[in-house]
Amino acid sequence: MRKSVMERSTAETKIELALHLDGQGKYEGSCGIGFFDHMLALFCTHSLFDLKLAMTGDLVVDGHHSIEDLGLVLGQALDQSLGNKAGICRYGTFFVPMDEALVMASLDLSGRPYFLYHVAVASQRVGDFETELVPEFLRAFTSSGGITLHLHKISGTNSHHILEAVFKALARALRQAVSPDGRETGIPSSKGVL
C-alpha cells in the first residue's frame, strides 16, 4: 500500500497529514484557507490521491507559514509513499485547459528537486488568498519531495482559472508519474536509484 502519515509541529504550524496514492480522489479536512482547500480538493480529484489533513497555523499573521509548511509535509509524504519508486512511470506531462486558461505541467520523480514556474497571474489575491503563495507551496513541495517540476502558463487572463489549471495539471502529471509501468521491472533509472 502506497500510503504515509506525516506530522510537523512548529511555533507557526501544526500539521497532521495522511496520503494514499492509490485512493479515490478524496480530500478530508482543511488547511484553514478556503481557496487553498478548493485547490487541494481538485488536486485530489484529478490525481486520485486520498488526502486527510488536520492543521492549524498562524493565519492571524498571514497564510505564508501554513502554505509553505503544508508543501513541505505533502512533498515528504509523497516521497515516503513511493518508497524506492520501483515500477513507476516516473515522468508525467499534462496540459489542462480551464476556459481561457491553458497550463502545462511536466515533472520527473527523479529525487533531484528543481522548480520552474512561468505562471503569471494578474491578481494579487483570489478571495482572501494571496496568489504569490502558490509558487511558495510548490517550491516547498518539490524540494521536500525530490521532484523536478516545470509549470508554464500558455494562455489565460482570469487568475482563478489559471491557478485552478495549475493544480489540475500538476495532479494529472503526478497521476501519470506514480502509475505502475507494466513493462518496468525495476527502478526506472540507468543509475539504478531515484
- pLDDT tens digits for range 137-153: 999 999 999 999 999 99
Neighbours of 117 (CB within 10 A): 16
Could you report the per-residue pLDDT of 8-63, keeping only the tens digit for each?
A: 999 999 999 999 999 999 999 999 999 999 999 999 999 999 999 999 999 999 99
Mean of per-residue pLDDT scores for the chain: 97
Cell 519508486 found at = 85
Q: Which domains, from first to last, does the chain contain?
A: 3-178 (3.30.230.40)
Cell 500539521 found at = 15
Q: How far is CA 114 from the centre of its chain?
A: 14
Q: What predicted TM-score, i.e. pTM, was given to this entire model? A: 0.97
Q: What is the DSSP secondary-structure string of 18-72?
A: EEETTS-S-EEEE-S-HHHHHHHHHHHHHHT-EEEEEEEE-TTT-SHHHHHHHHH
How far apart CA 118 and CA 120 sit, in angstroms, is 6
The confidence score (pLDDT) of residue 73 equals 98
Contacts of 188 (CB under 8 A, 6+ apart): 85, 87, 88, 89, 90, 181, 194
Phi (first) and psi of residue 125, to 5 degrees: -140, 145
Q: pLDDT exceeding 90 applies to what percent of the chain?
A: 98
The confidence score (pLDDT) of residue 5 equals 98
